[in-house]
Amino acid sequence: GLRVDRLLSSQVFEAAISVSDPARRDVQPQLLKDLRNVRQFISSAGTTAFFDMPWAPMYFALLFVFHWTLGALALVGAAILIALSILNEWLSRRPVTETAQHANTCEQLFEAGRQGSESLQAMGMGQVYRNKWLAAHCNEVLTQTKAADVAGVFSVTTKSTRLILQAAVLAAGAYLVWQRPGTIHDF
């Protein structure tokens, strides 16, 4: 997400500011919002969870079919994962709010630059104003990175917990098979 932002932020800003057609001026702020949305989507932990979610009910049902102990272990693990998600939300709320505030500052600077672009160019201040916007943009990216770091810690913790849970379910399954009379170990 950061790499995409670094590659495109300056060019997107230049392209948006340089639009001189008054009929197309309404798309200028949207360009920066789209870039921000792409960066945040790529770097979010929710993207992975979104693709895992549809398989969870089938996984629980299958485990209960095998044995109630396996299903119960999976439900306890799911409760732990949900608690981690809630804690993640609680701890990342402040950095996300700060990111939104910096994003608002960037949008305001952009809008002021867009409205005064002709004056800025005539006075030779285009580069100076762009650098001011880039500084504000860097603050936004920095706070977004901090928010992503908090989410990343919880993402790693959640993934580790999930892997431990999977190993525990496999171990419990192996134990249940071993304890069952008439299995292969009796030969």
Across the chain, mean pLDDT equals 82
DSSP letter for 178, please: H
User: What amino acid is encoded at 79 in this protein?
Assistant: A
Does the predicted TM-score (pTM) go above 0.75?
A: no
C-alpha–C-alpha distance, residues 152 and 164, integer Å: 18
Q: Which of 1-15, 69-83, 87-101 has the highest mean pLDDT?
A: 69-83
Angle at 89 between CA 83 and CA 94, to 5 degrees: 145
For residue 149, the SS3 value is helix
Q: What is the pLDDT of residues 29-70, one digit of tens each?
A: 677 778 888 877 777 766 667 777 888 889 889 889 989 999
By CB atoms closer than 10 A (0-12, 13-18, 19+), residue 175 is exposed
pLDDT value at residue 23: 60
